[in-house]
Amino acid sequence: MQQNLKVYNSLSSSKEKFDPLNPPYVGMYVCGPTVYSDVHLGNLRSFLSFDVIYRYLEFLGYAVRYVRNITDVGHLENDADEGEDKIAKKAKLENLEPMEVVHKYTQGFHEVARLFNLKRPSIEPSASGHIIEQIDLIQRILDAGFAYEVEGSVYFDVKKYHNKNHYGILSGRVLEDLVSGTRELDRQDEKRSALDFALWKKAAPAHIMRWPSPWSDGFPGWHLECSTMSTKYLGKQFDIHGGGLDLKFPHHECEIAQCVAGYGVSPAKYWMHGNMLTVNGQKMSKSVGNSILPHQLFTGEHPLLDKAYSPMTVRFFMLQTHYRSTLDLSNDALTAAAKGYKKLANGLRIIKQLQYPDNSQQEINQQVDQQINQLCENCYHAMNDDFNTAKTIAHLFNLLKKINSIHNGTMDIGQISSETFTSMKSTFLGFTEQVLGLQEERLMVFDPLLNIVLNSYQEAKERKDYTKVDAIREQLKTQGIVLKDMKTGVDWAYEE
């Protein structure tokens, strides 16, 4: 099974024409958050990777149906089979109704997603709203002979499935090795093999989250919701299934087994996994004390953080690394990212203001013109190569050099054709804002207020009141704004 997406390489050029009335369709399913705690920074990275994939496919003209679920049925600590219901546990701890827990953390996730500029998925179904469909899939798997019922619980029979199919097709795990690596089952165990996983679990008397079913009052297994909801909204087979690397096994492996057993077909054509996030070279974990939450990054309130970093700085930081590589978070890397992001943000401001002159008489410099067109093409090539955001950013910076040269007068805009200028503008804006989702971070009232300050700066300069001129410069600098005296008047930029 192919795991790295290369299929879109055929779309190597921005010149691809789509019929807007009949755009090619892409179905994409991403395993969403569990809503009994704050969204983890590592998960946020994973959602960001798929956000950019979603954005780029739409940017190319695909009609994308993006489904990202909410896991809210209170699965258990240990692969859905044993342990405590996490939502009920949290409800007791916080003195809330289980659905209050779900609501609180779903809202918290949406707020982080908004700050982080993640586009909303087309459908965001919750597991608790699809119990009937999950019961239906269990029945199909039972009818096909790949599951068995014991005392009101239903388990997937991995060995029986593997006799006719391939359990391990995605993760490359070998069943025989897995068997020898598992513990011996004791007598009370309901499962025939330790590898079998729960499709339905009978609820113990104290278990809060429960629903009626043909087998018992209970709750569905962890892996089942994604198989059910992806099939319901995207069909039995769809294009892309994504999630964090930690979900590849057993979660996604089990999803494939359930779909093959119940629907007779493997669900996704491409499986994509986002790699891990580490902190100062170490895996994030609560016990080490290096587990940082998104809002702690935005406020700087964590012992490991020197200061606060804005959501767009963090977004830029994460996109500087390809989604399949591990990413290490540190103050140094975030500080460098803040600079890089501001450079791009300054580029956005400049290119939005730049206009091509109406009657340019100048001769086109073919070499420069071609160079800029090539830089634009490079952005597409980088994203077409398995959505390489790191390379795309590098190409955008090359384009930015040209934009800055035009802005500061070292390159004449008339050296390039108006078509090339338009392409440069739409590529820089399109890739920065639409594809990478990097926006300027400032308040709506910022521009008019800043104009008032710039006017008094200009006036002070004209009456040669240099004390005032210096004071305004200094004060703006403390707010991260630098003034630039240009031939055309005064301009400003974010301090890089």
**Binding stretches for Zn ion (CB under 5 A):** 31, 226
Query: What token pair was written down for 113?
Result: 């997603």
**Smallest distance from the beta carbon of 9 to Zn ion, in angstroms?**
27
Query: What token pair was written down for 1?
Result: 């099974």
Cα-flanking dihedrals φ and ψ of residue 96, to 5°? -125, 160
473, 495 contact by CB (below 8 A): no
Q: Between 224-234 and 131-143, two packed helices, what is the crossing angle to 10 degrees?
A: 100
**Smallest distance from the beta carbon of 15 to Zn ion, in angstroms?**
37
Residue closer to Zn ion by CB (options 135, 226) is 226
| Interatomic CA distance for residues 122 and 135, integer angstroms | 25
**Smallest distance from the beta carbon of 229 to Zn ion, in angstroms?**
9
138, 261 contact by CB (below 8 A): no
Cα-flanking dihedrals φ and ψ of residue 15, to 5°? -80, -5
Residue closer to Zn ion by CB (options 226, 436) is 226
199, 161 contact by CB (below 8 A): no
Residues found in the chain: 496
Residue closer to Zn ion by CB (options 189, 246) is 246
Largest Cα separation within the chain, whole Å, is 93
Per-residue CA distances from 172 to 169, 175, 176 (Å): 6, 9, 12
- DSSP letters, 129-154, are GGHHHHHHHHHHHHHTTSEEEETTEE
**Smallest distance from the beta carbon of 329 to Zn ion, in angstroms?**
25
**Smallest distance from the beta carbon of 278 to Zn ion, in angstroms?**
23
Residue closer to Zn ion by CB (options 272, 382) is 272
**Smallest distance from the beta carbon of 253 to Zn ion, in angstroms?**
11
Residue closer to Zn ion by CB (options 168, 242) is 242
**Smallest distance from the beta carbon of 239 to Zn ion, in angstroms?**
16
Residue closer to Zn ion by CB (options 254, 351) is 254
Residue closer to Zn ion by CB (options 60, 234) is 234
Query: Can you say whether the dihedral through the CA atoms of 476, 477, 479, 481 is positive or negative?
Result: positive
